[in-house]
Amino acid sequence: MNIDDYKRLINKTEDYIETNLDKRITLTDVANNANFSEYHFHRIFSKFSNETLKQFITRIKMERSAIYLAINSDISITEIAFQYGYSCSSSYNKVFKKHYGVSPTEFRKEQEWKRNIKQPDV
């Protein structure tokens, strides 16, 4: 397998996570989605990635949930937790805080403030 095959596998896995954000996603799910055995998927993923599969899934979920909570001020943190496959808001809060260093509520406030100041130049 070369780097293009790996990129294609990652793209497929990202697309799968993005359409199944409300589920608890396992190695079996992503391997099935890519038509690979769990063993083969894990071997390829580990060879090219500097994250574990769990870290990868969590990062995609955290980044997508952060976008959603920043642009949707009406939705509660509990609803977001459920929407991202967490069984309660406290487990979601914990993972979020570990990832961003602030709670989802604090993050939402920060983003509202930043949004009114300037566009990032990337």
Partner 1 sequence: MEKPNITIENFNTRVIYVRFKGSYAAFRKNSRKMFNQLFSFATANNLIIEGETKVLTIYHDNPFITHAENLRTSLAMTIPSDVVINEIEDINVLQISGKYGIGHFEISPPEYESAWQYMYQEWLFKGEEKPRDSFPFELYVTEPPKRWKEKSFTDIYIPIE
Distance CA 103, CA 122 (A): 25
Q: Please, what's the b/e burial string for 57-66 (b: 16 or more CB within 10 A of its CB; e: otherwise)?
A: bbebbbeebb
Among the listed ranges 24-32, 40-48, 64-72, 85-93, the one in contact with partner 1 (CB under 8 A) is 64-72
106 binds partner 1 (CB under 8 A): no
47, 50, 74, 101: which one binds partner 1 (CB under 8 A)? 74
88 binds partner 1 (CB under 8 A): no
23, 37, 54, 67: which one binds partner 1 (CB under 8 A)? 67
32, 38, 64, 97: which one binds partner 1 (CB under 8 A)? 64
58-65 CB contacts, 8 Å cutoff, 24+ apart? 58/95, 58/99, 59/99, 60/14, 60/17, 60/18, 61/17, 61/21, 61/85, 62/95, 62/96, 62/99, 62/100, 64/18, 64/21, 65/21, 65/92, 65/96, 65/104
Which of 29, 100 has the CB closer to partner 1? 100
1, 37, 46, 63: which one binds partner 1 (CB under 8 A)? 63
Site residues (CB under 8 A) for partner 1?
Answer: 4, 7-8, 11-12, 14-15, 18, 21, 59, 63-64, 66-68, 70-72, 74, 83, 111, 114-115, 119-120, 122
